[in-house]
């Protein structure tokens, strides 16, 4: 099968999932063509049966904003025609589903099936804007198949857009060999002394991620466990405020802002706790990656995160804003070695049992085969 994949090539979850899906499909013998305005952050262009096609976005004085959606549709058409694509799988509804629909229309009568995967803010924020709601619904309805990464996201989509089609739920996945526990949780000396407890947060530092809550939780724990350190991976609009809060609380020396780094799978296993106190998470891929590494997760009871974290078993969930509650949970588990080891073991076991890459790739392939067999 020849599959086109379009995603946002950033460090966000939708681009990561799309990239990992493409790698796994290529391992199974399928030919995968990525189409995006930049190289996806985790894409290995040297992997067998994986190709990357950059979208060139021309600029003209007439256009105050470059029409990326039209440039993308044109590139999709070109790649589909010359590479003989069977399926175009787009991740994130706007504008990717619309561009794929335009490409299919331009290719007629050459057949091209369109599969759209909804990841979160394309439905919960962008798609609900009055300017985009009708066209988001149109993109969903014109797709040959639509998937969502959680039951929560599926329910939101049905409630807001009332689409004319079914939506399949295929959760995000992990490769348990890549996301595995570390033999020893030892950070380089430049970050922490031996035996220090390590907190980790990874995000795009948007307001929805509540990175200031991460700092507040860590500050409370550090008063009881003073050698603890916090690693903040990523970048975004809330980073300056988080750095300033660390200085105000006098903990700047114990908090390390590492920026965007592609080597998350090397950092994640070294953490003792992963902190993801978002206002909303359609799924929470980074929380799943942490649990696969045997790292329990602290988060809020929001969005699809309760589908990923089993409260009290693989992490702790509290109502949004309950910083004190999560800090107390962190102290309870970090000061009880037996409890921590049990929670770490359950985190790894649940991640493998429910979100193993092999089973979930099979579900995507079944979707492709279904749309290819349809009239």
Q: pLDDT tens digits for the chain (375 residues)?
A: 999 999 988 766 788 889 999 999 999 999 999 999 998 878 888 899 999 999 998 888 878 888 899 999 999 999 999 999 999 999 988 899 999 999 999 998 888 999 999 987 777 665 456 777 888 899 999 999 999 999 999 999 998 888 888 899 999 998 899 899 987 777 766 677 777 899 999 998 999 999 999 999 999 999 999 999 999 999 999 999 999 999 999 999 999 999 988 778 889 999 999 999 999 888 989 999 999 999 999 999 998 999 999 999 999 999 999 999 999 999 999 999 899 999 999 999 999 999 998 889 999 999 999 999 987
Domain for residue 134, yes or no?
Answer: yes
Are 122 and 260 contained in the same domain? no
Range of the domain at 120: 2-173+356-373
Of the candidates 209, 182, 178, the one whose C-alpha atom is nearest the C-alpha of residue 299 is: 209
pLDDT at position 307: 94
> Which strands form 168-169's sheet, in the order they lie side by side?
50-54, 31-36, 2-6, 87-91, 113-118, 145-148, 168-169
Interatomic CA distance for residues 180 and 174, integer angstroms = 10
> Can you give the C-alpha Rg of the chain in angstroms?
21
Q: Are residues 43 and 158 in the same domain?
A: yes
In 3D space, the residue among 225, 212, 202, 170 whose CA is nearest the CA of residue 290 turns out to be 202
Same-domain pairing of 130 and 94: yes
* CB distance 172 to 283 below 8 Å: yes
Q: Residue 338: inside a domain, yes or no? A: yes
If you count them, how many residues does the chain have? 375
275-313 pLDDT tens trace: 999 998 889 899 999 999 999 999 999 989 999 999 999
| Residues 23 and 166 both lie in one domain | yes
Query: Is residue 186, in this structure, part of any structural domain at all?
Result: no
**148 plus 225 within the same structural domain:** no
Distance CA 161, CA 181 (A): 41
Whole-number pLDDT of residue 78: 96
Task: Assess if residue 294 is contained within a domain.
Answer: yes
Q: Residue 337, Cβ neighbours under 10 Å: how many?
A: 9
Between vectors from CA 57 to CA 56 and to CA 60, what angle results, nearest 5°?
140
Q: Based on the domain organization, do 64 and 162 belong to the same domain?
A: yes
Residues 156 and 238 in one domain: no
Total count of domains within the chain? 2
- Per-residue confidence (pLDDT) for residue 101, from 0 to 100: 96
pLDDT of residue 282: 87
Both 126 and 110 in one domain: the answer is yes
CATH number of the domain encompassing residue 321: 3.40.50.2000
* Tokens encoding 193: 């002394």
The rounded distance, in Å, linking the Cα atoms of 158 and 52 is 33
* 183-205 tens-digit pLDDT: 777 776 667 777 789 999 999 89
Same domain, residue pair 168 and 76: yes
Residue 64, burial from CB neighbour count under 10 angstroms (0-12, 13-18, 19+): exposed
Cα separation, 56 vs 318, whole angstroms: 45
Partners of 201 in the beta sheet? 232
Euclidean distance between CA atoms 347 and 127, whole angstroms: 33
The verdict on 147 and 16 lying in the same domain is yes
- CA–CA distance, 315 with 18 (Å, rounded to integer): 26
User: Which residues sit opposite 231 in a β-bridge?
Assistant: 200, 256
Whether 191 is covered by a domain: the verdict is: no
Q: Which residue has the tokens 């307001």?
A: 207
336 and 363 within one domain: no
Give the pLDDT score at 127: 47
């Amino acid at each position: 099968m020849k599959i086109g994949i379009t995603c946002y090539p950033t460090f966000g979850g939708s681009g990561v999932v799309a990239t990992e899906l493409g790698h796994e499909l290529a391992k199974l013998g399928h030919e995968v063509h990525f189409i995006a305005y930049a190289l996806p952050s985790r894409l290995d262009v040297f992997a067998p049966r994986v190709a990357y096609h950059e979208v060139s976005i021309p600029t003209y004085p007439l256009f105050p904003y470059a029409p990326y959606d039209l440039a993308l549709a044109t590139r999709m058409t070109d790649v589909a025609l010359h590479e003989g694509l069977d399926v175009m799988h787009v991740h994130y509804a706007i504008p990717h589903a619309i561009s794929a629909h335009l490409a299919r229309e331009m290719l007629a009568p050459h057949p091209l099936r369109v599969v759209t995967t909804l990841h979160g803010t394309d439905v919960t924020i962008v798609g609900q804007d009055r300017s985009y709601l009708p066209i988001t619904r149109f993109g969903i309805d014109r797709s040959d198949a639509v998937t969502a990464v959680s039951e929560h996201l599926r329910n939101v989509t049905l409630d807001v857009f009332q689409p004319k089609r079914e939506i399949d739920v295929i959760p995000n996945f992990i490769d348990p060999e890549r996301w595995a526990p570390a033999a020893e949780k030892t950070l380089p000396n430049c970050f922490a002394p031996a035996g220090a407890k390590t907190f980790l947060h990874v995000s795009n530092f948007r307001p929805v991620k509540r990175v200031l809550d991460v700092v507040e939780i860590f500050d409370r724990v550090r008063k009881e466990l003073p050698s603890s350190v916090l690693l903040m991976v990523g970048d975004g609009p809330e980073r300056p405020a988080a750095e300033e809060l660390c200085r105000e609380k006098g903990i700047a020396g114990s908090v390390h802002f590492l920026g965007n780094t592609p080597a998350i799978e090397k950092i994640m296993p070294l953490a003792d706790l992963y902190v993801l106190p978002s206002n909303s998470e359609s799924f929470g891929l980074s929380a799943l990656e942490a649990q696969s590494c045997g790292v329990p997760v602290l988060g809020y009871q929001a969005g699809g995160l309760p589908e990923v974290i089993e409260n009290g078993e693989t992490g702790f969930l509290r109502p949004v804003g309950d910083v004190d509650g999560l800090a107390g949970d962190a102290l309870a588990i970090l000061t009880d070695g037996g409890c921590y080891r049990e929670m770490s073991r359950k985190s790894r076991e649940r991640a493998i049992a429910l979100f193993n890459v092999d089973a979930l790739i099979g579900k995507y392939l079944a979707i492709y085969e279904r749309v290819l067999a349809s009239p």
